[in-house]
Structure 1
Amino acid sequence: MLFNSYEFIFLFLPITLIVYFWLNKYNKNKLAKAWLVIASLYFYSYFHKSYLILITISILVNYFIGQKLSNNKYNIIQRKMLLIIGVVFNLGGLGYFKYYDFFVSNINSLLGTNFTLLHILLPLGISFFTFQQLSFIVDSYKRYDLTYDFLDYCLFVTFFPQLIAGPIVLPTEMLPQFEAEENKKINWENMNKGLYIFSIGLAKKVIIADTIANFANAGFDMMDKLNFVEAWLTSVSYTLQLYFDFSGYCDMAIGIGLMFNIILPANFNSPYKSTNIQEFWKRWHMTLGRFMTNYLYIPLGGNRKGEIKTLRNLFIVFLASGIWHGAGWNFIIWGMLHGICIVVHRVWKNSGRKLNKLIGWFITINLVNIFWVFFRAQTVTDAMKVINGMMKILELRLIYNFEILIELKPFFQRSVGILNNKINLLILLFSVIIILKKGRDNEELTPFIFFIAIIFIRNAANFLYFNF
Structure 2
Amino acid sequence: MLFNSYGFVMLFLPIFILGFCLLRRALSDSKSKELALNIWIIAGSLVFYGLFGLRNLAILVASILWNAAIVRGLAGKKNCGNAGPDKIILAIGIVADVLLLLVFKFSGLILPIAISFYTFNQISFIVDVYRGEIADRDFHTYLSYILFFPKILQGPLMSYKDFVAEQKKSFEAKVDWENVMRAMLLLAMGLFKKVILADTFGKAVNYGFSNIAVLGRLEAILSAFFYSFQLYFDFSGYCDVATAVCMLMGFGLVVNFNSPYKSVNIMDFWKRWHITLTDFFTKYIYIPLGGNRKGAARTYVNILIVFLVSGIWHGTGWTFVVWGLMHGVMSVITRAVKKVPKTRIGHAAAVLANFLYVTAAWVFFRAESVKGAIGIFGRMIFGGIRPFYSTFADGFNLDEIWYFIKVTPLMKLSFAWDICLWLFTAFAVIIIFFCPNAIEYTRKCKIGIRTTLLTAFLLFWCVLSFGGVATYLYMNF
1:192-221 alpha-carbon deviations (Å, 9 max, x no partner): 222221111101011111111121111012
1:148-197 alpha-carbon deviations (Å, 9 max, x no partner): 21010000000001111111111011023223475354343432222221
**Alignment equivalent of 1:262, drawn from 251, 269, 274:** 251
**Alignment equivalent of 2:72, drawn from 64, 67, 72:** 67
Deviation (angstroms), 1:279: 0.9
Deviation (angstroms), 1:411: 5.3
Look up the match of 1:379: 369
**Unmatched 5+ residue regions in structure 1?**
102-118, 399-403
Look up the match of 2:411: none
Deviation (angstroms), 1:362: 2.6
Deviation (angstroms), 1:61: 1.6
Look up the match of 2:10: 10
Deviation (angstroms), 1:72: 4.1
1:294-332 alpha-carbon deviations (Å, 9 max, x no partner): 111111111000000000001111111111111211111
Look up the match of 2:235: 246
Q: 2:304 matched to 1:318?
A: no
**Alignment equivalent of 1:453, drawn from 458, 462, 469:** 462
Change (3 A) 1:181 1:215: closer
User: Partners in 1 of 2:355 and 2:258 — Cα distance?
Assistant: 15
State the TM-score, normalizing by the size of structure 1. 0.87
Cα-Cα RMSD = 2.6
User: Partners in 1 of 2:46 and 2:402 — Cα distance?
Assistant: 40
Look up the match of 2:25: 25
Letter in 1 for 2:357: L
Identity %: 39
User: Partners in 2 of 1:139 and 1:179 — Cα distance?
Assistant: 20
Change (3 A) 1:307 1:353: farther
User: Partners in 1 of 2:380 and 2:109 — Cα distance?
Assistant: 35
Q: Is the 8 A contact 2:286 2:303 kept in 1?
A: yes
Change (3 A) 1:282 1:391: farther
User: Partners in 2 of 1:176 and 1:24 — Cα distance?
Assistant: 17
Look up the match of 1:272: 261
Look up the match of 2:160: 171
Change (3 A) 1:237 1:285: same
Deviation (angstroms), 1:120: 1.2
Look up the match of 2:350: 360
Look up the match of 1:204: 193
User: Partners in 2 of 1:200 and 1:47 — Cα distance?
Assistant: 25
1:395-418 alpha-carbon deviations (Å, 9 max, x no partner): 4xx4xxxxx22xx23553675644
1:121-152 alpha-carbon deviations (Å, 9 max, x no partner): 21010111111111101111110134221010
Q: Is the 8 A contact 1:21 1:32 kept in 2?
A: no
For the residue of structure 2 that corresponds to 1:458, the secondary structure is helix
Look up the match of 1:104: none
Deviation (angstroms), 1:459: 2.3
Deviation (angstroms), 1:89: 1.4
For the residue of structure 1 that corresponds to 2:109, the secondary structure is coil
For the residue of structure 2 that corresponds to 1:300, the secondary structure is coil
For the residue of structure 2 that corresponds to 1:4, the secondary structure is coil
For the residue of structure 1 that corresponds to 2:254, the secondary structure is coil
Q: Is the 8 A contact 1:98 1:122 kept in 2?
A: yes
Q: 2:24 matched to 1:44?
A: no
Letter in 2 for 1:346: R
Q: 2:305 matched to 1:305?
A: no
Look up the match of 2:409: none
User: Partners in 2 of 1:235 and 1:189 — Cα distance?
Assistant: 40
User: Partners in 2 of 1:189 and 1:84 — Cα distance?
Assistant: 48
Change (3 A) 1:68 1:180: farther
Look up the match of 1:82: 89
User: Partners in 2 of 1:330 and 1:464 — Cα distance?
Assistant: 16
Letter in 1 for 2:11: L
For the residue of structure 1 that corresponds to 2:287, the secondary structure is helix
Look up the match of 1:158: 147
User: Partners in 2 of 1:348 and 1:248 — Cα distance?
Assistant: 34
For the residue of structure 2 that corresponds to 1:216, the secondary structure is helix
Q: 2:474 matched to 1:465?
A: yes
State the TM-score, normalizing by the size of structure 2. 0.85
Deviation (angstroms), 1:240: 0.3
Change (3 A) 1:246 1:409: same
Change (3 A) 1:58 1:358: same
**Alignment equivalent of 1:295, drawn from 284, 291, 303:** 284
Q: Is the 8 A contact 2:37 2:171 kept in 1?
A: no
For the residue of structure 2 that corresponds to 1:68, the secondary structure is helix
User: Partners in 1 of 2:233 and 2:341 — Cα distance?
Assistant: 34
User: Partners in 1 of 2:357 and 2:426 — Cα distance?
Assistant: 29
Letter in 2 for 1:412: F
User: Partners in 2 of 1:162 and 1:174 — Cα distance?
Assistant: 11
Change (3 A) 1:283 1:423: farther
Change (3 A) 1:181 1:125: closer
Q: 2:411 matched to 1:421?
A: no
**Bigger shift: residues 409-418 or 358-367:** 409-418
Deviation (angstroms), 1:354: 8.4
Letter in 1 for 2:328: G
User: Partners in 2 of 1:221 and 1:182 — Cα distance?
Assistant: 49
Q: Is the 8 A contact 2:228 2:359 kept in 1?
A: yes
Look up the match of 2:180: 191
Letter in 1 for 2:476: N
User: Partners in 2 of 1:87 and 1:227 — Cα distance?
Assistant: 48
Deviation (angstroms), 1:461: 1.4
Letter in 1 for 2:87: K
Deviation (angstroms), 1:368: 0.6
For the residue of structure 2 that corresponds to 1:421, the secondary structure is helix
Number of residue pairs matched?
439
User: Partners in 2 of 1:227 and 1:34 — Cα distance?
Assistant: 56
Letter in 1 for 2:195: V
For the residue of structure 2 that corresponds to 1:20, the secondary structure is helix
Letter in 2 for 1:8: F
